Amino acid sequence: MSKLTKQDKIHIFEEWTLEDKRGTYLSKKYGVNIANINYLVSLIKMHGLSILDKPYAHYSKEFKEQAIKRVLLGNEAINAVALDLGLASRGMLGNWIRSCKENGYNVVIKKKGRRTHEQEKAERIRAAQARKRQAASPEFKAYCRKRIYKKLDALVQKKKEPTKTEIAKAITELRHELGLAVKKIIEIINTNEDLPHISRSNYYDAYTRDDKDQVNHGDVIARIQEIYDEIKNRYVAPGYRRITHILHREGYQINRKTVNRLMRKMDLYGYVMKRRHPYSSYQGDIKGRIKPDLIKRKFFALRPNMKWYTDITEFNLKGKKLYLSPIIDGCGRDTVAYNISRHPNLKQVMSMLNDAFKTNQALNGLIFHTDRGWQYQHKAYQHELAIRGIEQSMSRKGCSPDDGLMEGFFGILKREMFYGQENKYDSLDELEQAIRKYINDYNTERTKDKLKELTPIEYRNKSLTA
């Protein structure tokens, strides 16, 4: 990030926090790796903009040793330690650790000025001797054995038996980390019966063989990573289906099974939703206000404004509650109208209806389906539907599958922008803004298999012109 000026860094931080610009956009705009963008934003959030005025610092041997020990012995993450120490770059600590390992786990402070050829030669000889002494020490041999066992044991713990390519990749990483020869690493592995064995010839065959996926799908792999990072930064990790839709819209000809396989190979996985207890507005049945179920779980509609669905869901943020009441069309699953309120009262539902009726005039014959919440049994609500020729439909008592379309929508929404991310929102106002942005993106950007890989709005518009 040295090529960025102080003003560039301030602009990146402002665009990230105030304008909600993320990963891929800022990376392309400023020509900086996404990981460096994330580190810069986290650094300023932790230490403030004054950290950018910090002059070039010369770090002592003791300072570097303490930082390295926190990573190697304290098992702290490199980025977390670098941020805590206020290092200007996330790569500085990684370079210190690499240099420490190359010098026999000793921190070497280089003297200023250029060295003569004789000094460089003597330094190389001293470093080689130090590595030999280190390799011969019982402590280092024990560390190497422990590290090799741990690395290979992680492969064994997976459900499937590790392939020769995975074993060769692990050995290559151990070579660079420990500085040992392939022969020595394989000997240590093969002495343990619980680890997957491999011969030297098999290792070199797998090591030198071209990765077919990189050859055939190199550009797709890079794009998958970009899409995954971009969506994950905004909401949660997307699954292979959603990424496949985006690739298809961008012109890539690739099967979703191939995308699934590549994502697994890249260790990219979608978020799995946990079941939560839904909000219920049911307070009993009012005689004469209960309507029959006209939908009978046949949620799909051939054209827009044939079937509408609504319900209320609750967001509990640090003990404070927010309520969302949307209307979903059964044709394209688009959100026709919605209302967000601090209280689940009749005013919220009536405001939602007014917004929907403003943009949708001819609704005679529309079926409007809900559960048996008290708002939907209210005289004022039922009157507004009746005067427009709308038929009201209600699910059976205590039968949530009858309201499955709304349950599914709420599940997707909370899974992608709320569950597990509550700490992102400092107030109900921030949460409300995030919900509004998500609903807009859901309507105009999020594609679905059932909608032929179109967004809800695209499918609605196509149905209206068909």
Residue spans of the domains in the chain: they are 6-102, 137-208, 218-265, 307-465
0.75 exceeded by pTM? no
Look at residue 2 and tell me whether its pLDDT is greater than 70: no
Average pLDDT over every residue of 435-443: 93
Residue closest to 466 by CA, chosen among 368, 359, 332, 367: 332
For 1-33, give the DSSP string: -TTS-HHHHHHHHHHHHTS---HHHHHHHHT--
Of the ranges 9-23, 35-49, 417-431, which is most confident?
417-431
- In 3-state terms, what secondary structure has residue 288? coil
Q: What is the pLDDT of residue 139?
A: 73
Q: What is the pLDDT of residue 56?
A: 66
Q: What is the pLDDT of residue 214?
A: 74
From the CB of residue 117, how many other CB atoms can be counted at a distance below 10 Å? 7
Alpha helices in 195-234 (DSSP H): 200-208, 212-234
Residue closest to 197 by CA, chosen among 181, 180, 179, 185: 185
Strands 367-370 and 335-341, bridge-based pairing: unpaired
Look at residue 385 and tell me whether its pLDDT is greater than 90: yes
Of residues 358 and 62, the one with the higher pLDDT is 358
Residue whose tokens read 């963008």 = 37
Average per-residue pLDDT in the chain? 83
For 233-252, give the DSSP string: HHSS---HHHHHHHHHHTT-
Angle at 78 between CA 145 and CA 138, to 5 degrees: 20
Binning the chain into helix, strand and coil, the percentages to the nearest 5 are 55, 10, 35
Look at residue 141 and tell me whether its pLDDT is greater than 80: no
- At the top level of CATH, the class of 307-465 is alpha beta
Query: How far is Cα 459 from Cα 447, in angstroms, rounded to an integer?
Result: 10
Phi, psi of 18 (to 5 degrees): -90, -40
Residue 299: which pLDDT band, with cuts at 50, 70 and 90? very high
Q: What is the pLDDT of residue 329?
A: 94
pLDDT, tens only, 126-138: 777 776 666 667 7
74-78, 170-174, 207-211, 356-360 — which is least confidently predicted?
Answer: 207-211
Q: Are 251 and 222 in contact (CB under 8 A)?
A: no
Q: What is the pLDDT of residue 338?
A: 95
Q: What is the pLDDT of residue 293?
A: 92
Look at residue 381 and tell me whether its pLDDT is greater than 70: yes
Query: How far is Cα 381 from Cα 395, in angstroms, rounded to an integer?
Result: 17
33-42, 80-89, 150-159, 235-244 — which is least confidently predicted?
Answer: 150-159
Angle at 147 between CA 145 and CA 149, to 5 degrees: 65
Q: What is the pLDDT of residue 376?
A: 93
Angle at 87 between CA 84 and CA 90, to 5 degrees: 95
Q: How far apart are the first and last CA of the chain?
A: 52
Residue 122: which pLDDT band, with cuts at 50, 70 and 90? confident
Phi, psi of 293 (to 5 degrees): -85, 105
Q: What is the pLDDT of residue 8?
A: 80
Of the ranges 44-58, 77-91, 285-299, 426-440, which is most confident?
426-440
Q: How many angstroms from the chain centroid is the CA of residue 184? A: 39
Q: What is the pLDDT of residue 422?
A: 86
Average pLDDT over every residue of 94-117: 70
Distances (CA, A) of 52 to 47, 78, 217, 401: 9, 20, 40, 55
Query: How far is Cα 344 from Cα 321, in angstroms, rounded to an integer?
Result: 10
Look at residue 275 and tell me whether its pLDDT is greater than 60: no
